[in-house]
Amino acid sequence: MQLKEKDIIVFAGDSTTDAGKNETGDRLGMGYVKLLHGMLNAFRPELRPTLVNAGISGNNSQELLARWEKDVAAYRPDIVFCMIGINDVWRHFDLLDPEKPLISCEEYEKNLEEIAKKGQAAREFVFMTPYYMERNRADEMRLLAEQYASAMKRVAARHAYRIVDLQQEFDAYMRYRSGQSVSWDRVHPNEYGAMLIARAVWRVLQGEERREA
């Protein structure tokens, strides 16, 4: 990916992107977006990019699609990173909001297809897969997360978009430590989990190949 001076980079997603942005003065949150802001300003000071945290806690793919024009397109971004899907998966298990319809994998893929079309307005568009920080590959939530990630990969392939496989990133980490060491609930990353996500995004921004797990 070729970064340009004063690029506007928008990160669209849910709570894993939001990371408490309303509690920070710069509205970047305390997660991977904040880390990337520091990395870009420290290591690429000539670029002077603008980073926008467009994550909203609790959002699923349908809700992100509904607010895309207001929260993403309105910034006229040069680059968009989109990480959405874990709530589409999680709601099948926690049932915290019984009034909200569940998003099937088929509907999720359709929502992503519409998001992908809207993403064509940006110079660069990158999907980031949903993930579950669980070593046991037979775990039912991990299995469902992988199905939704596969749907995202199909959409990315149809549009020739880059994709960051975050499950692969966390699997490489979990060869040595448990998923709960980077996330108390195996979804919301702590500072170390945020570093893993930021590093994966940094590789894309720098045009670097990911090392093999």
Catalytic option among 15, 18, 71, 165: 15
CATH superfamily of 8-206: SGNH hydrolase (3.40.50.1110)
- 8 Å CB contact between 53 and 77: no
Q: What is the pLDDT of residue 212?
A: 41
Domain ranges of the chain: 8-206
Which strand ranges, in their side-by-side order, compose the sheet holding 8-13?
50-55, 8-13, 79-83, 124-128, 162-164
Condensed to tens digits (0 to 9), the pLDDT of residues 7-18 reads 999 999 999 999
| Among 55, 22, 27, 140, residue whose Cα is nearest residue 89 | 140
Assess contact for 54 and 11: CB atoms under 8 A: yes
Residues composing the chain: 213
pTM: 0.93
Give the 3-state DSSP-derived string for 58-121, with helices as H, strands as E and coil as C. CCCHHHHHHCHHHHCHHHCCCEEEEECCHHHHHHHHHCCCCCCCCCCHHHHHHHHHHHHHHHCC
**Residue 92 confidence (pLDDT):** 84
Question: Helix (H, G, I), strand (E, B), or coil: what is residue 163?
Answer: strand
Angle made by CA atoms 9, 14, 17, in degrees to the nearest 5: 50
Mean pLDDT, residues 114-138: 96
15 is catalytic: yes
State the catalytic residue, choosing from 7, 61, 88, 188. 188
- CB count, 10 Å around CB of 157? 10
| Residue 188 among the catalytic residues | yes
What mean pLDDT do residues 155-172 have?
A: 96
Catalytic residue among 26, 97, 139, 185: 185
Please determine, for residue 88, whether its predicted confidence score (pLDDT) is greater than 50: yes
Which residues have CB under 8 Å from 116's CB, separation 6+? Answer: 125, 127, 155, 156, 158, 159, 161
% of the chain at pLDDT higher than 70:
96
Average pLDDT over residues 16-44: 96
Q: Is the pLDDT of residue 115 over 70?
A: yes
Average pLDDT of span 167-194: 93
User: What are 171-184's pLDDT values in tens digits?
Assistant: 999 999 999 999 98
Q: Is 118 exposed, middle or buried (0-12, 13-18, 19+ CB in 10 A)?
A: middle
**Annotation says 185 is catalytic:** yes
pLDDT in tens, 203-213: 999 987 554 43
